């Protein structure tokens, strides 16, 4: 199986910098593991979106897009679970 390339949206990197520094390594590890398996157990598809998924790390959600044709995973959003689905 081929590995996927990880690409972060600039806005997702900004959100990552605002997160508690003790949790950031866990989030980064979870994102890196998506390269080998973009749909691991525990991942949820976001309703109403064809290629968006979310994975939980502690109280945070990583929202990402899987583009199978390009073997690409684009990290769209990293926020606390209470804020992740609000468009601000």
**If 0-12 CB within 10 Å is exposed, 13-18 middle and 19+ buried, where does residue 8 land?**
middle
The domains located in the chain, with CATH, are 5-80 (3.30.2310.20)
Binned at pLDDT 50, 70 and 90, residue 50 comes out as confident
Q: How far is residue 1 CA from its own chain's centroid?
A: 20
pLDDT in tens, 51-72: 999 999 999 999 999 999 999 9
Q: What is the structure's pLDDT at 31?
A: 96
- pTM exceeding 0.85: yes
Q: What is the pLDDT of residues 24-49, one digit of tens each?
A: 999 999 999 999 999 999 899 999 88
Identify the pLDDT of residue 84: 73
Copy the structure tokens of residue 29.
Answer: 């590890």
Structural contact between residues 45 and 65, judged by C-beta atoms closer than 8 angstroms: no
> What value does the mean pLDDT take over residues 11-15?
96
């Amino acid at each position: 199986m081929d590995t996927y390339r990880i690409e972060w949206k600039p806005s997702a990197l900004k959100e990552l910098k605002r997160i508690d520094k003790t949790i950031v390594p866990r989030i980064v590890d979870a994102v890196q593991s998506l390269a080998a398996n973009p749909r691991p157990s525990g991942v949820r598809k976001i309703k109403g979106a064809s290629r968006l998924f979310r994975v939980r790390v502690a109280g945070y959600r990583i929202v990402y897009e899987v583009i199978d044709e390009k073997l690409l995973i684009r990290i769209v959003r990293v926020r606390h679970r209470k804020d992740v689905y609000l468009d601000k």
